[in-house]
Structure formats: C-alpha cells, structure tokens
Structure 1
Amino acid sequence: MGSPEEDTLRSSDSAQSPSSASATTVNPNGFDEKDLVRSQQQQQLKQQRQHPLAAIPKRKPVAGAGGSGAPVVTSTAVAHDASLEEAGIAHAAATSKMTSRWSQWSSGGFNLGSRSGLGKYSRKIESKLPFAHDRRKRRFFLIGVGAGIVILIALIIGLAVGLIVGKKGTASNLPLPTNHGGPYTGDLTYYNPALGSCGITSTDSDNICAVSHLVFDVASRGSDPNQNPLCGMKLRLRRDGRSVDVTVVDRCVGCKATDIDVSPGVFAKLANIDQGRVLVQWAWLEDAPVAIPA
C-alpha cells in the first residue's frame, strides 16, 4: 500500500493504457496500420497505370477428370484433327498420282493402266517399238513417224486437189472422137449461165454449154424442156491444141446449128476472153439422138 498520491497516479496510468494500445496497432510482420494503408494505395495506383485489358482475368484451363489441372481435349477436336490429317494424306496421294502420270507421258511412255484393259496391249506394243530401253530415242522416233504420217497425208490431199483443179481449171489436149457424131465446126461464144432450159442452175466457172435451139428443139420429145434427151450429154471442144469437155444444160436461141455457147470459164480456157467469138471444133462424147449437118 502506498500513499494516496501514488494510488491516484497508478489508477490514471491503468486507465490510459487501453486507449494507447487501441490507438497503435502493430502488424504481426512489423508494420503499423498506416504502412498497410499506404502499401494498398500504391498497389491500386499500379493497377490503374497498367493496360486496360490487363485487369481482365485470364481463362483458367478446365481441370481433367483426375483433377490434375491439365486442359481437356474433347472428342470433337480429335475428330477435326483426324479429318484434317486424312484430307492432307488424300491430297498428297492425288498429287503424287498426277505427277507419276505426267512423268510417264513426258518420258514417252504408253502405260494406259491395267484397269482400262489396254495396259497389257500397250506394254506389248511398247516392247516391240525400236529403242524400247531408251525412252529419249524412242520419243524422237515416234515424233519422226508422226511427222512423216502428217506429211504423207498432206501430199495425198494436195495431189487430190491438184487433180481436181487440173481437171476442172485447165484445158487438156485430147482428140475429138468421130464415132458419136462430128467433128463439127462453128462459132464459140460465152454467156453468164443461171437456170437453164434443162432445169439446172450453173455458174460462170462451170464446164457447161448451150447448144443451138435448132438442135435442142429437134431432139425434144415433149413440152417439158427438162426432159430433153440432150440435157446432161457431154461434148468435147477443141481449139489450138487445147480441149475442154462440157455438159449440155441450156438452149441457145441465137446460135446456128453447129455453134456452141459456153460459160466464161470454158471460153477463157480456149481463147482470150476479150475476143468474144472464135471458131471451134467439137464432137459428141456419146451417141447423139439427132444428126447435125457438118
């Protein structure tokens, strides 16, 4: 027990101790409350200064069945990857097949494939070709054969065209027959043919002629001139060592009995077209139904 003054001082100290303890709270780590508030404010400032998207929480991987935290691969994703792999394999196979076929053709091969049924025949033919073991020489050989065939076809076509043009476009030098009537001598003139009395339409380049109306009318056997037996008959014209065979298709009103009127193309083969009228010899190439005085 002390004096009354000491007891009063002791009681005042015990009354102040709870307020002082509550005013200052010590953090277990050694920091007071003010330091904690200050650190929290600094953290908030740092977060505000970061990129706006940085605050978005990242997606966490879905935990597996075992709870290991590894991402789960679904069956849809596996099927999609498998289909992509199969498509890639199919594309590679198709590309390889096309490349092999192109290499066969470019190297001069004739492999038509076993499925077509022609593969064995192509191999037999290929084995019998010259240079069977040298594709380069064989290719040049086949190119040469093809070029030769093309040249031969061109020569045949040219020869045929030449024969046709030569027969139609130039004069010959053939004698006049004497066993069908003739030879006769008369004037040779030309006209522009169209639809003739025989019902045949002709052009200026055709080897045709019109005989005198005196001959045409005598041979007529009815009122239809198309049925005249002279229509379609052939005769040969000859002048200065040149001859042309023509077909009767018309009737010449202004011609004498032995005169012949022809197309401009026929006249140009026997004389100068500017002459207009020249003498000519002619004879029938087949038996005539009428007799013409020489």
Structure 2
Amino acid sequence: MHANVLFLFTLFFSVFSVFASPVPTGETQDIEKRLTRSGRGTYFHVGLGNCGKWNKDSDAIVAIPKSLYDKNGGSNCDQWVKIKDNKTGKVAYGKTRDSCPSCKSGDLDMSPSLFKKFASLDKGVVNVSWNFMHKGFKP
C-alpha cells in the first residue's frame, strides 16, 4: 500500500515539476509571435534605429515598445509585424527596426508611410492590434 502511495506521489511531483519549469528563451520568442497586442498606433520620423540600420520615412518600419525590445534583447529586429486598424479592419505589415521609449506594452510606432495606410498624419493616433510574424516571413 505504501509503495503505491509513494509511486503516485513521485509521479505527481515529477509531472508538476515539468509544468512549473521556466520557459527557455527560444520558446519565449516563439510565444511572443503568437501574442496579439492592442494599443495606440502612432508615427515617428525614422532614421538610425536601435537595430543599427538606417531607414527612410517611405519604408514600412515599426518601433516596438522599448520594454519588449529590451525583454527580447533586440531579437525581433528585422521581424515583420502584422498591424490591424481596430476601427476599419485595414491590415498592413511593418518591419521591426527600432524601439519606442514612450510606447506602452500594446503600442506601436510606425513610419509615416506605414501610418498613412491607416489614416492621415493629421489624425496622429489610431487604435491597432498587432503581432509578430514568424522569422523569415515577407509580405
């Protein structure tokens, strides 16, 4: 009887330990691309971004929240983001090339040409949802 109880306890503890283990960094990045974030979509004039590459305002560029950029160690550089205007349903894609210090966790800063796919620059802010596409994706 005690052997059965001990066996069940050991089995339960082993299974629980597996589920309680931290997620390795590579898997965190895989999970990140499946998350859909929502927040303010704004625009900025691009140049040399945190990813170390120069861009022009006519490029489809995004700056992700600095907290997310730092959390992922810049690993999202050159990764495409799918952006949806929550009001109109319009969808566009932007390449991650910078971080946005003033963005909250669901916000996204876009190059002027990318922002114009959703609204005029005069509007300044749109309500968006966005998520990372898989590495290697190109629109």
User: Same-fold call, TM > 0.5?
Assistant: yes
Amino acid across the alignment from 2:102: G
Kindly indicate whether structure 1 or structure 2 has the higher relative contact order, using CA contacts under 8 Å at least 6 residues apart: 2
Q: CA deviation at 1:218?
A: 0.7
- Please state whether the residue corresponding to 1:217 is helix, strand or coil: helix
- Please state whether the residue corresponding to 1:269 is helix, strand or coil: coil
1:180 and 2:28 are equivalent in the alignment: no
Amino acid across the alignment from 1:211: I
Match of 2:119 in 1: 271
1:258 and 2:111 are equivalent in the alignment: no
Alpha-carbon distance between aligned partners in 2 of 1:256 and 1:241, rounded to the nearest angstrom: 22
Which of 132, 136, 139 aligns to 1:284? It is 132
Amino acid across the alignment from 1:251: S
Alpha-carbon distance between aligned partners in 2 of 1:277 and 1:259, rounded to the nearest angstrom: 10
Q: 5+ unaligned residues in a row in structure 2: which ranges?
A: 1-30
Conserved? CA contact 2:63–2:97, under 8 Å: yes
CA RMSD across the alignment: 1.7
Match of 2:60 in 1: 207
Instruction: From the superposition, tell whether residues 245 and 219 of structure 1 become closer, same or farther in structure 2 (CA, over 3 Å).
Output: same
- Please state whether the residue corresponding to 1:280 is helix, strand or coil: strand
Q: CA deviation at 1:179?
A: 9.3
Match of 1:111 in 2: none
Alpha-carbon distance between aligned partners in 2 of 1:241 and 1:249, rounded to the nearest angstrom: 24
- Please state whether the residue corresponding to 1:202 is helix, strand or coil: coil
What per-residue deviation string (whole Å, max 9, x for no partner) do you get for residues 147-206 of structure 1? xxxxxxxxxxxxxxxxxxxxxxxxxxxxxxx99322221100001000111011011110
Kindly tell me the number of residue pairs found equivalent between the two proteins. Answer: 103
Which of 238, 256, 259 aligns to 2:84? It is 238
Alpha-carbon distance between aligned partners in 2 of 1:195 and 1:182, rounded to the nearest angstrom: 27
Q: CA deviation at 1:257?
A: 1.0
Q: CA deviation at 1:272?
A: 2.2
Q: CA deviation at 1:236?
A: 0.4
Instruction: From the superposition, tell whether residues 201 and 179 of structure 1 become closer, same or farther in structure 2 (CA, over 3 Å).
Output: closer
Q: 5+ unaligned residues in a row in structure 1: which ranges?
A: 1-177, 221-227, 288-294
Conserved? CA contact 2:43–2:124, under 8 Å: yes
Match of 2:9 in 1: none
- Please state whether the residue corresponding to 1:211 is helix, strand or coil: strand
Alpha-carbon distance between aligned partners in 1 of 2:62 and 2:125, rounded to the nearest angstrom: 14
Give the structure-1-normalised TM-score. 0.34
- Please state whether the residue corresponding to 1:270 is helix, strand or coil: coil
Conserved? CA contact 2:38–2:128, under 8 Å: yes
Give the structure-2-normalised TM-score. 0.69
Alpha-carbon distance between aligned partners in 1 of 2:32 and 2:102, rounded to the nearest angstrom: 28
Instruction: From the superposition, tell whether residues 207 and 194 of structure 1 become closer, same or farther in structure 2 (CA, over 3 Å).
Output: same
Alpha-carbon distance between aligned partners in 2 of 1:237 and 1:198, rounded to the nearest angstrom: 20
